[in-house]
Amino acid sequence: MGVREAEEFYAPIKERLAEKIKGKLLKEIRSSLESSLDFKLPQGIEEGIAEELKVYKAEHEFNKIIKFISGIDSREVSEEEKKKEVREKCLALVYQGENAIMKIRKVLGETNPKEAAPGTVRKDFGLDIIKNGAHASDSSLSAEREMKIIQIEKDDISEIVERHYGRI
């Protein structure tokens, strides 16, 4: 998956990242600043600081995801380079049927491998919340959007299989 595809594919999580990060920042800011500055902060000041910082921290975390998925740091390449086709491919499996999304998400486990049940893909193969072993859409709308981005109608796998194993 190229940089441009990865940015588009994971764009919806950027805002959710910011909100999750804000909660973590709120917990850290008061204690960190009070110990560093050696005085008590006014009540509620951490709310404004967290609100400002969440955007930068979310962008940083988002860029880590894009780099992991594409192999390229999106901050270090031009817009033209982001559009280039990449050699690395991802394998997308499309599950259909009643409750398909719920069923596959159960097989994969929680997004965070540390919270996933034993025997799930993410528990057994995931390393952390970014390198978690697999992706599954969270809704049919997300699935439709994601399939368009990765151009699911293209059959890239046949060419790869034939190159390595011959015509089947």
> What's the domain range around 148?
100-165
pLDDT in tens, 27-61: 888 888 888 888 888 888 888 999 889 989 999 98
Q: Are residues 69 and 139 in the same domain?
A: no
- Phi, psi (rounded to 5 degrees) for 94: -110, 115
pLDDT attached to residue 88: 65
- Give this prediction's pTM: 0.69
pLDDT in tens, 88-143: 667 788 889 999 999 999 999 999 999 999 999 999 999 988 888 888 999 999 99
Domain of residue 149, CATH code? 3.30.70.141
Q: Are residues 77 and 7 in the same domain?
A: yes
How many domains does the chain divide into?
A: 2
Q: Are residues 105 and 153 in the same domain?
A: yes
Q: Phi-psi bin for 97: left (phi > 0), alpha (psi -120 to 50), beta? A: left
pLDDT category at 87 given cuts 50, 70, 90 is: low
**Residues with catalytic roles:** 135
Q: Are residues 11 and 69 in the same domain?
A: yes
